[in-house]
Amino acid sequence: MALKPGTGRRLLAGGVLALAGYYALWGGEYSAFHLVRLRNERRDAEARLADTRRQVDSLRTLAGRLEKDDAEVERIARERFGMIRDGELLYRFVPVDSAAPHPKGAGE
């Protein structure tokens, strides 16, 4: 069976187009799948950046309060570091571990 004149060129052009389409979707550094993955990574990075900016804003606000308000500094010193003034007593409440064995005679 003989091909019509020009059919070989059409088949070759169709094959090249099919190969280019395949390469565009699955091959190379800039394939469609790679671009989708890059878009998702960028979206995630932008979300992390927004969270970091919120944290920075909160820390700047706290730093401003600490620079201007001695009562805030005292509150943090008492809560986080257990600091007390002269003449005060510090009581620390430790949660009881329910799995720990009770000493004999305790609670009886």
Q: Does the residue 48 lie in any domain?
A: yes
> What is the per-residue pLDDT across 1-46, written as a single tens digit (0 to 9) for each?
555 666 778 888 888 888 887 777 777 777 777 888 899 999 999 9
| pLDDT per residue as tens digits for the range 53-83 | 999 999 999 999 999 999 999 998 888 888 8
**Domain interval for residue 64:** 23-91
Asked whether the whole model's pTM tops 0.75, one would answer: no
> Does residue 32 sit within a domain?
yes
Query: Does a structural domain hold residue 13?
Result: no
Mean pLDDT for the stretch of residues 76-93 = 86
The reply to whether 18 falls in a domain is no
Give the total number of structural domains in the chain: 1
Query: Are the beta carbons of 25 and 33 closer than 8 angstroms?
Result: yes
Residue 1 lies in a domain: no
Whole-angstrom Cα distance, residue 67 to residue 81? Answer: 18
